Amino acid sequence: MPTAELNGIRIGYDVRGSGPLVVLVMGLGSPGRVWQLHQVPALVRAGHRVATFDNRGIGASEPGPPGMTIDDMVADTAALVEHLGGGPAAVVGTSLGARVVQELLLARPELVSRAVVLAGHGRLDATQQALSAGECALHDAGIALPPRYRAAVTALHNLSPRTRADPVAVRDWLDLFEMSDPAAGPGVRAQLALAEFEDRGPAYRAITVPTLVVGFADDQMIPAHLSRELAAAIPGAEYAEVADCGHFGYLERPDEVNALLVGFLGAC
């Protein structure tokens, strides 16, 4: 993975394909390469140049100074768009990455031609904030949950009932979660702290960039009603909901999600 000095830190990124630029912004704690399983190939086939990157403090990207803010992550994304040609580019984000994209649409709209936010949201409810606070407390106390238990909790939080009811599929997911459960580092800890924020719905009424909001019908982390609420706040936003998938809908139902991405961003 190449790196570049962007917004004062080294950011690891990857670019594939040719054509109009699409930048994909990953969610909490995950590296950019997660997009490469399904979304990157679909967008490259559709004629796009697709950039993925590790958010600060994750993977190949430096953490930067203490006290990470959402504005830092927005500035990192803007710097990558500028580094890759200056835009305007299509930008796609999921979960925390969706928040980054939403704030980018306010801070630097000239860099974005179209935006897609998966599990987009303008606020979190008390349960979601309490879960993030609990994860922070576990990290600060140096408590590491047993990998198999952590895998089961991850499955409950992020997969749909349909997937969990399939004994073969859920076993594969549990094995994957268990093998890919590194100890939460300072980058993940800093991202978890970003769960405390005020309702941004009123601010998002100022967004002018064409936006597609995608909700996942069985999402326990960002319930679909929050995504519908966000779409209603953004003037002219389109809304789509993917059935039978949870928070990892782009991995559970990649064909449906990819069809929405290509349909909104266009095939070149």
Cite the beta strand spans of the chain per DSSP E.
3-6, 9-16, 21-25, 49-53, 89-94, 112-118, 211-216, 238-242
Set 30, 61, 95, 132: catalytic member? 95
Is the C-alpha dihedral spanning 96, 102, 107, 112 positive or negative?
positive
* 53 close to 97: Cβ distance less than 8 angstroms: no
Q: Are strands 9-16 and 3-6 parallel, antiparallel or unpaired?
A: antiparallel
Set 48, 121, 139, 247: catalytic member? 247
Based on the residue annotation, tell me whether 166 is a catalytic residue of this protein.
no
User: C-alpha distances in angstroms, 245 versus 7, 161, 221, 238, 254?
Assistant: 35, 8, 12, 19, 10
Set 14, 48, 219, 227: catalytic member? 219
Residues 6+ apart with CB under 8 A from 142: none
Residue 263 one-letter amino acid: G
Based on the residue annotation, tell me whether 218 is a catalytic residue of this protein.
no
Based on the residue annotation, tell me whether 219 is a catalytic residue of this protein.
yes
Q: How far is CA 130 from the centre of its chain?
A: 20
Neighbours of 190 (CB within 10 A): 22
Catalytic residues: 95, 219, 247
